Structure 1
Amino acid sequence: MTGSSYSPELNNDELLYSWVGRFAEHNADEDAKDLMYMLLGSRNAILSVDLPCGIDRIEHALGPKFPYANANDAIERGTQYPFHRPFLGLDVNQFALERMRSGGSDLKIKMGLVANRFGASAALRFCPICLETELRQWGYGIWHRSHNLPGVTCCTKHVVLLKIGTNPTKTSHRATVVRPPRFIDAGRVERAGRGQLRLGTLCVGALNLCMPAIDPITRVTLYRDQAERRGYCDDNGRVLFFSLACDIAYRYDGFEGSALQQRLLSTTKYPMRWLEDLFVRPDRSLHPICHLLLIEQLWGHLDSFYTALQTALPARLDEKDGRHLHAIVEPKRTCDIASIDDISLSCRAAADLLGVSVNTVVLHRNKKGLYIRARPKKIFREVVVVIKQELLRGRTATEISRDLSVSLSSVHRIRAVLNADLHRMAASAKEKKKRIYRADWLLLLEQHHHAVNARTARPELYAWLYRNDPEWLLKENAGHRRPPSTMGRVDWVARDREFCTSAVKYLRKILANPYRSRISRTMLRRFLGEATISANSSKLPMLMRLESRLCEPIQVFAKIRIDRAIASLKTDGFPLDLWRIQRLAGLGFLSKENVKFAEQRIGLG
């Protein structure tokens, strides 16, 4: 990198974003666009605070001045990716690593951070005590990873609330690398609450623990088993989400003081609705805070969860060729992978040798059609035949498990073997349904003649066809479109006479009211149709002349109001003073003409 002669030392818990800012400052790179061009190859590039992309380019540009061992080390120690990693799907994790190394602009969208309503970006935060200490010892401050984690509002070291700095995603700062304040008054600090400190400690602990990526199925199995052990399941094995939500909210004081309080407690009807998604929709990308809150409630500490994770599934095998897709921990023993196909070994023995679960071995052998020793105490071959028949009939695994009194995992193992047949049956059923729905739609088109009317009659039928058979639907609708509207020409002479007649009738009705308001052009047009008259005033000459004659000037109506006031004062027996008349008439002031008129009316009285 030409012109850069000094590489500052990397500090513990410092963001890569913070180090780049100090690097630019020490090398006098004041122009942020030039800095981005040198580091990322584009003047329009933006360096993300928490999940920066294009780290391979930064490493290549800096060469030996790069403060990390390599790009992977930078991702591990200079970004917040380790905080998100355990709670993303394996494919999303692979995508995230590729984007952070090679570059791209859709990383947070793919990770679900944009859609989960927790906020994909936030203002930078700092601890005033930490910053004051750094300025005194080093002469500069840094942005800490632990201070800028989502949901963290306090410094876990000094137990004080963090200060809010600049938001680098704002338009005025998007092209710059924001630096921490150079001056700080650490004397004015606020102590953190119990719930804020607990949540901050939990998030920082998850970041420092550096847990690996976890398969969603493995994760939800651990959640469900631990929930049952802790008494959060009923007799039928269903999770008691309401009880779980109440205990978590109580543990964190209702998330008081947290910027994410409203999102964590939503919705009003189903508080902490995201808890159900953690169990029912494991593939959905939920925010790490949701997982961490559940983990601490069920296990009490992250280390306990990590221990349970290591003992649950040491490795996950590819169902197709038996290779390791993702090693969560090292296998118990090194063993030839061919042991999984050795039928002289029981499924449990093979699982122990390979360091995998028994379910993995059973599923693999079922798919290959290998012999599996029957387990009479668990499930007989006759029951297996019945389960296959029920699955092919279209019944769900839950229904079969309940009716035949077998475990849900046993039904799913058998179902995995029949996946191809079930997919063919589903495709066949869909084609049959499509033929029926096509016939129904053609009948509707014959009855209603127009596609719009048919859609109004059967909106659910239209929606299904539009999702599953759009080409055929649009082709058929093309011949049943509603003919274009052909409105006749307007006879403006007759319309002009109609407006004049209506205006005179309306005027007589208004004049019959002794407490009427002033007759104005706006009043008449509102009654007749203001939009039509304003747009076609040139075609209505009679109405325009009539409006000029009927409208009352403000001065004329003021005299009418004076007459009303005088009559009211006489009726109530009050003196006919000018100030009383003015007040009762509601006039701001009396002109000379109005004063003369009022005196004449009083003299006549």
Structure 2
Amino acid sequence: MLPFFTNPYPDELMYSAIARYHFYSGNIDFKDTLEEVFQSRTVIPSVEIGSHFSVLVEQFGSNYSVESLLAKHTIYPFYAPFLSKNRQKELLHDVQGDGKGLYIRLGMVAGGICKKDWLCYCPECAANDIDQYGEPYIHREHQLQGIDFCAHHELKLKKYPVDPSKQSRIEFIRFDKRSLNLSMIQEVEPKEFEAIQIALAKKAYQLLQVPIDRFSRESINHKYRVLLREHKLITTSNRVRQNELYKAFKSKFQKDF
């Protein structure tokens, strides 16, 4: 068990908490941090979710569980409702071990349309964190794919000026307030696009707060079909009218968006 650990802040990614531990422990070599936290020098850090949670729980003590870490300090709840019950069980098993196949199960590897290759932050959230906690940290909601605005302050997210792809694979990036741009001045965006992006950010944040075992693909699929039937987008034989659904979707969002 670790003699101390930098307990995660509200909605902080586990990755970020470990990055802070590395900083406060005084370790120079990231492999030393890996060994202390994971009892292994070969773990590859992952920003969005992570792995070896069973070891983490042993190291942190009785205040944490695999489920609580997964639910409160990873982006997993964003995907959980859309996974089958069986896939949810497989993923829970994945994160307790080495996490191999984890992102394939989530579909993140195949569908990287909006994949972020950088760490993001909201300047107002960061300023508030510095005031309240004395330091900024990585909020999980700001790392969600396809989300470019803060759900709380309705500001466009900024990129942290450290490119993860240019760092060592075992390095944990910690937000340094000296590297943050806390200006609230925003780039000019079309108002109708901005409104949609803010609405999506708010919905995404709501998903993060849903208990990870409340919904599954089976129940969500049923709800979708009820809604499709209400909009006459499904046939009497329970087949989706895909062309009509496609046209309806296109009419909802402007082409440029």
**TM-score scaled by length of structure 2:** 0.84
Given that 2:34 and 2:41 are in contact with CA atoms closer than 8 Å, whether structure 1 keeps it comes out as yes
Alignment correspondent of 1:132: 127
The amino acid of 1:25's aligned partner reads F
Change over 3 Å in CA distance of 1:7–1:208 after alignment to 2: same
State the 1:39 CA deviation. Answer: 1.7
The amino acid of 2:29's aligned partner reads D
Question: Which of 149, 170, 186 is equivalent to 2:182?
Answer: 186
Alignment correspondent of 2:49: 51
Change over 3 Å in CA distance of 1:21–1:233 after alignment to 2: same
1:161 partner SS? coil
Alignment correspondent of 1:152: 147
- The two structures, once aligned, show a CA RMSD in angstroms of 2.6
The amino acid of 2:37's aligned partner reads L
Change over 3 Å in CA distance of 1:120–1:162 after alignment to 2: closer
Change over 3 Å in CA distance of 1:51–1:121 after alignment to 2: farther
1:93 partner SS? helix
Change over 3 Å in CA distance of 1:102–1:171 after alignment to 2: same
Question: Which of 48, 68, 76 is equivalent to 1:81?
Answer: 76
**TM-score scaled by length of structure 1:** 0.38
State the 1:72 CA deviation. Answer: 1.6
Given that 1:149 and 1:204 are in contact with CA atoms closer than 8 Å, whether structure 2 keeps it comes out as no
State the 1:52 CA deviation. Answer: 0.9
Alignment correspondent of 1:247: 248
The amino acid of 1:185's aligned partner reads N
Greater than 6 Å deviation, 4+ residue runs: none
State the 1:121 CA deviation. Answer: 6.0
The amino acid of 1:189's aligned partner reads Q
Change over 3 Å in CA distance of 1:34–1:254 after alignment to 2: farther
Query: Bigger CA drift: 187-196 or 201-210?
Result: 187-196
The amino acid of 2:36's aligned partner reads M
**Residues in 2 aligned to 1:212 and 1:231: alpha-carbon distance in whole angstroms:** 31
Change over 3 Å in CA distance of 1:109–1:235 after alignment to 2: closer
**Residues in 1 aligned to 2:218 and 2:6: alpha-carbon distance in whole angstroms:** 44
**Deviations along 1:424-461, whole A, 9 cap, x unmatched?**
xxxxxxxxxxxxxxxxxxxxxxxxxxxxxxxxxxxxxx
Alignment correspondent of 1:172: 167
Given that 1:154 and 1:160 are in contact with CA atoms closer than 8 Å, whether structure 2 keeps it comes out as yes
Change over 3 Å in CA distance of 1:88–1:18 after alignment to 2: same
Report which of the two structures shows the higher radius of gyration computed on alpha carbons: 1
Matched, 1:162 2:157: yes
The correspondence of residues 450-465 of structure 1 with structure 2, limited to 5 A, is none
Given that 2:57 and 2:64 are in contact with CA atoms closer than 8 Å, whether structure 1 keeps it comes out as no
State the 1:147 CA deviation. Answer: 0.9
Change over 3 Å in CA distance of 1:69–1:236 after alignment to 2: closer
Query: Bigger CA drift: 230-239 or 127-136?
Result: 230-239
**Deviations along 1:439-485, whole A, 9 cap, x unmatched?**
xxxxxxxxxxxxxxxxxxxxxxxxxxxxxxxxxxxxxxxxxxxxxxx
Given that 1:154 and 1:200 are in contact with CA atoms closer than 8 Å, whether structure 2 keeps it comes out as yes
State the 1:35 CA deviation. Answer: 0.6
Alignment correspondent of 1:576: none
Q: How many residues align?
A: 250
Question: Which of 35, 40, 46 is equivalent to 2:33?
Answer: 35
Change over 3 Å in CA distance of 1:243–1:181 after alignment to 2: farther
**Deviations along 1:523-544, whole A, 9 cap, x unmatched?**
xxxxxxxxxxxxxxxxxxxxxx
**Residues in 1 aligned to 2:181 and 2:75: alpha-carbon distance in whole angstroms:** 28
The amino acid of 2:182's aligned partner reads A
The amino acid of 1:224's aligned partner reads R
2:181 partner SS? coil
**Residues in 2 aligned to 1:106 and 1:221: alpha-carbon distance in whole angstroms:** 27
Change over 3 Å in CA distance of 1:54–1:167 after alignment to 2: farther
Q: How many percent of aligned residue pairs carry the same amino acid? A: 23
Q: Which has the higher contact order (CA 8 A, sep 6+)?
A: 2
**Deviations along 1:20-47, whole A, 9 cap, x unmatched?**
1112222212321111122223222112
Structure 2 alignment gaps of length 5 or more: none
Alignment correspondent of 1:21: 19
**Residues in 2 aligned to 1:214 and 1:137: alpha-carbon distance in whole angstroms:** 34
**Residues in 2 aligned to 1:224 and 1:63: alpha-carbon distance in whole angstroms:** 44
Change over 3 Å in CA distance of 1:241–1:101 after alignment to 2: same
Name the one with the larger helix percent: 1
